[in-house]
Amino acid sequence: MLAGLGNLSAPLQAIADFLDIDEDLIAVAAAASPSIQEPDGLAECAASLPAEEKDALLARVAAGESAQVQALLLRRFRAASGSSPAAPARTAAELLEAAADRNDARVKAAEQRGREEEARRTAARAAAYAKHLDQLATPHGGGLGEGRGADRDQAAARLRPGRVPTERSAGPR
């Protein structure tokens, strides 16, 4: 399990962008990625190892086995300190499935926000239309009800397309 995926450095982010690694895949992998910070007490644990074992571990590091030595030391440290082990490793298929699920959830949330925004716009248009009709229906609004006190429903009936005003509804001549 790679540590530090939750906070990629600028060079790592540039590589991820260059390789076009999906941001959902990185986020899913980062969820179980431990912090890069060294656990408290690890240095003391390493210092307490016998000299022969330290020499053997250093020889392995020099031979290119630093990752294995690190894993061994962390496993021993966690066992000795009683801290919980890292999350179990996941397969590529599990990571890809989790990334797809995360992407689906993100898309659904965006669609929901779009529907909510459209509902707000529709409500605002309806309110503006109702206000406009109210202004047309008021005696001093300069609209269709001039001096008669026609209500909003009468004004709306006069504005409906395809309706021919009758003499009664056409207003003063």
Per-residue model confidence as pLDDT tens digits over 118-146: 999 999 999 999 999 988 887 664 544 44
Cα separation, 46 vs 48, whole angstroms: 5
Residue 4 lies in a domain: no
Asked if 16 and 49 sit in the same domain, the reply is yes
Tell me the C-alpha to C-alpha distance, in Å, between residue 71 and each of 2, 37, 78, 113.
11, 14, 10, 45
Q: In terms of C-beta density within 10 A (0-12 exposed, 13-18 middle, 19 or more buried), how is residue 58 classed?
A: exposed
Phi first, then psi: give them for residue 120, nearest 5 degrees.
-65, -40
Asked if 58 and 84 sit in the same domain, the reply is yes
Asked if 76 and 133 sit in the same domain, the reply is no
Cα separation, 35 vs 2, whole angstroms: 9
Asked if 153 and 76 sit in the same domain, the reply is no
Number of domains comprising the chain: 2
pLDDT of residue 70: 83
Structural domain containing residue 127: 120-170
pLDDT at 3 over 90: no
The two tokens of residue 134 are 């109210």
The residue type of 131 is: K
Report whether 95 contacts 28 (CB < 8 A). yes
pLDDT band at 166; cut points 50, 70, 90: low
Asked if 99 and 135 sit in the same domain, the reply is no
| pLDDT, the chain, mean | 77
pLDDT band at 147; cut points 50, 70, 90: very low
Asked if 155 and 75 sit in the same domain, the reply is no
Report, as an integer, the average pLDDT of 58-81: 84
Report whether 74 contacts 35 (CB < 8 A). no
Residue 24 lies in a domain: yes
Asked if 33 and 110 sit in the same domain, the reply is yes
Residue 107 lies in a domain: yes
Would the pTM count as exceeding 0.85? Answer: no
pLDDT of residue 165: 54
Asked if 95 and 164 sit in the same domain, the reply is no
Asked if 110 and 151 sit in the same domain, the reply is no
